[in-house]
Structure 1
Amino acid sequence: MPALHPDVQALLAMLRAADAQPLESLPPEAARRSYLAGRRALQPPPDEVAQIRDLAAPSPAGPVPLRLYRGEGTAPEERLPCLVYLHGGGWVLGNVESHDWVCRRLANLTRASVISVDYRLAPEHPFPAAVEDAAAALAFVVERAEGLGVDPARLAVGGDSAGGNLAAVLALMGRDGALPRTAMQVLLYPAVDLAMTS
C-alpha cells in the first residue's frame, strides 16, 4: 500500500491527540455538536458567494429551514439553475451550518443557486420526517421559483450520503408524479444500497 499523504497523516495524528469519542457512542445532541465542530475544524475558509438568504418552506409539521446561495459573479436579476441540496449525516447529524462550505463551493463552481435543506433529524423525528421536509422544500422552490430567482426548468436535487438518499427519493417521487419533476440528480456517495455492497 502506498504511504499516506502527509496531510492525511497530520489529520489522523490530530484526531488521535484529540481523543474524541466515536460519534455513535454519544447522545444525539452531543454527537451533532461534535460533528459540526469537526467539520468546521477540517474545512478551509468558506468561499465568498454573491448572496446568502435564510428562508423557510411551509409544511404540515412546521416551517422547514432553508438557506439559499447564489454563486459569485451571478447577477441579482438572473434566473439561475438551482440545486436543492440535502446534507449527509446518517439522518441523525448535520444541518445547513455543517454543509455551508460545500454549498458555497457548489454555487460558485456551477454559477448557480444552491438551496440547502435543514430537514428534521432522527431519532427525535423518525422516518418519514426527513422525506416529508425534503419534499416540502422542493415544492416550495418550484412554487416560489420566480421570487427566488431560479429557473424551475433547470432544477436539480442532490446531496451527500443520507442526503444523496433523500435526493434520489425526491427524483423518484418526481418521476412518479408525487412531486415536480427535476432535470437532474447529483448524488455524492449516496446511501442507496440496502446491502451496503457499494
Structure 2
Amino acid sequence: MGPLDPEMQAILDRRNALGLPGFAAGTPDDARRAFAQSQAALPPARGARNAAVRDANVPGPRGPVPVRHYLPERHSGGRILYMHGGGWVFGTLDGFDPVCRQLAHESGAEVVSIDYRLAPEHPFPQPLDDCWAILEALAEDMPLAVMGDSAGGNLAAALALRARDRGGPRIALQVLLYPVLSADFTRDSYTAFGQGDYLISREDMQWFWDRHVPPEMRHMPEAAPLAASDFAGLPEAIIVVGGCDPLHDEGACYAAALRDAGAKVTLRDHPGMAHGFFTLVDLLSAANAEIREIGALIASRLVLA
C-alpha cells in the first residue's frame, strides 16, 4: 500500500505534535474535545462560497433533526444527503461545512448535511433512524444520492440496504468515503495501519463500535453492512478508500461484494492517503482533486437517474 503522501504526512505530523490522547483514552466528551483540538490546529478551510446555505429542521422519530441545505449557484438537478464522520460519537454541521460547500459546487447538486444524533447518548439504530427520516422526507422530487465519510459512510450504506428491503425510497447512487462496514478488526489493513500513527487506531475503532452498537447486534446489516447475506438490488456505488487507512480493506471488500451481486461499482483506491483525507478540502491537494472527480461522477449519475 506504500508510504504516506508527503502532504498527508505533514498534516498527520502536525496533529501528532499536539500530543493528544487517542479517542479511546477517555470519555465521549474527551474524544469530542480532542477532535475539536485537532481540527483547530489545521489552517482554516472554507470550501466554495457560491452556494445558498440555509438551516432547517425535518421531523424525525424522536423530534426534529437539524439539516443544512447547500444549493449551488448552478443547480443541475439532483440532491445528495451527506452524513458526516466521527465514529458516530462526534461531528457537527459546522465542522463539515467546507466539504459540503465544495461538494455542492463540484457536483451541481443540492447537498443536505444531516446533524444526526450521536452515540453513546443515542446508540444504534437512532442515528440511522434520523437519517432515514430525512431520506423519506426529501427523496421524492429529484434524483438522490446518499453519501458519507467513515461512520457517515456506514450510515449511507445502511440507508441503501434499508431502502432496498423496505421497497424505497429510491436511491440512485451511494457514495461511500472510507466507510465503516464491519466490526472485524483482523483485516490486513488494521494490522498494517491500526497502531495509531494514521489518525485512527484499531483501539479507537473498537471503542467507537462499543459506544454505538452492542456486540449482540453487530451481525445486523444495518449496523455492519458487510454482514449482509444478500447484496443484490443495491444502488450503484462509488467507494473511496485510502491506501494507509485501517478501514481500507473493508471498503474494498464491500466493493467486491456489490460487484459480485451485479451492482455497478467504482472503487477509487488512493495510495498514500490516510483516513479522513477527503474532507481536508483546501488543505490537501489529493482531497481537492478527489472532490472534483467525485463531484463530476455524481453529476453524471444524477443527470441520468
TM-score by length of 2: 0.55
| Change in CA separation of 1:19 and 1:142 when aligned onto 2, cut-off 3 Å | same
Letter of the aligned partner of 1:82 in structure 2? R
Number of positions where the alignment pairs a residue of Structure 1 with one of Structure 2:
186
Structure 2 counterpart of 1:123: 120
| Contact 1:91 1:121 (C-alpha < 8 Å) held by counterparts | yes
Bigger drift between 101-110 and 174-183 goes to 174-183
Q: 1:23, CA displacement in angstroms?
A: 2.0
| Contact 1:85 1:157 (C-alpha < 8 Å) held by counterparts | yes
- C-alpha RMSD over aligned residues: 2.3
Structure 2 counterpart of 1:188: 177
2: CA distance between counterparts of 1:51 and 1:81?
Answer: 15
2: CA distance between counterparts of 1:181 and 1:13?
Answer: 43
SS of alignment partner, residue 179 of structure 2: coil
Counterpart check, 1:50 vs 2:83: no
1: CA distance between counterparts of 2:163 and 2:102?
Answer: 26
| Contact 1:135 1:179 (C-alpha < 8 Å) held by counterparts | no
| Change in CA separation of 1:4 and 1:126 when aligned onto 2, cut-off 3 Å | closer
2: CA distance between counterparts of 1:3 and 1:33?
Answer: 29
Q: Which aligned pairs between 1:124-143 and structure 2 lie closer than 5 A?
A: 124-142=121-139
Structure 1 counterpart of 2:28: 28
Q: 1:159, CA displacement in angstroms?
A: 0.3
Bigger drift between 120-129 and 31-40 goes to 31-40
2: CA distance between counterparts of 1:51 and 1:88?
Answer: 23
Q: Which aligned pairs between 1:172-183 and structure 2 lie closer than 5 A?
A: 172-177=161-166, 179-183=168-172
Bigger drift between 118-127 and 28-37 goes to 28-37
| Change in CA separation of 1:157 and 1:9 when aligned onto 2, cut-off 3 Å | closer
Structure 2 counterpart of 1:156: 145
Q: 1:178, CA displacement in angstroms?
A: 5.4
2: CA distance between counterparts of 1:107 and 1:120?
Answer: 23
1: CA distance between counterparts of 2:68 and 2:145?
Answer: 16
Counterpart check, 1:95 vs 2:84: no
Bigger drift between 157-166 and 79-88 goes to 79-88
SS of alignment partner, residue 93 of structure 2: coil
| Contact 2:84 2:114 (C-alpha < 8 Å) held by counterparts | yes
2: CA distance between counterparts of 1:97 and 1:23?
Answer: 20
Letter of the aligned partner of 2:173 in structure 1? M
2: CA distance between counterparts of 1:64 and 1:162?
Answer: 18
Structure 2: which 5+ runs fail to align?
188-248, 250-305
| Contact 2:86 2:151 (C-alpha < 8 Å) held by counterparts | yes
SS of alignment partner, residue 33 of structure 2: helix
| Change in CA separation of 1:4 and 1:141 when aligned onto 2, cut-off 3 Å | closer
Structure 1: which 5+ runs fail to align?
146-150
| Contact 2:77 2:109 (C-alpha < 8 Å) held by counterparts | yes
Bigger drift between 13-22 and 112-121 goes to 13-22
Structure 2 counterpart of 1:83: 80
Deviations 1:69-123 (A, max 9, x none): 122x32xxx5721000111111112121221121111111101111011111111
Counterpart check, 1:65 vs 2:66: yes
Letter of the aligned partner of 1:168 in structure 2? A
Bigger drift between 33-42 and 161-170 goes to 33-42
2: CA distance between counterparts of 1:4 and 1:165?
Answer: 25
Q: 1:22, CA displacement in angstroms?
A: 1.8
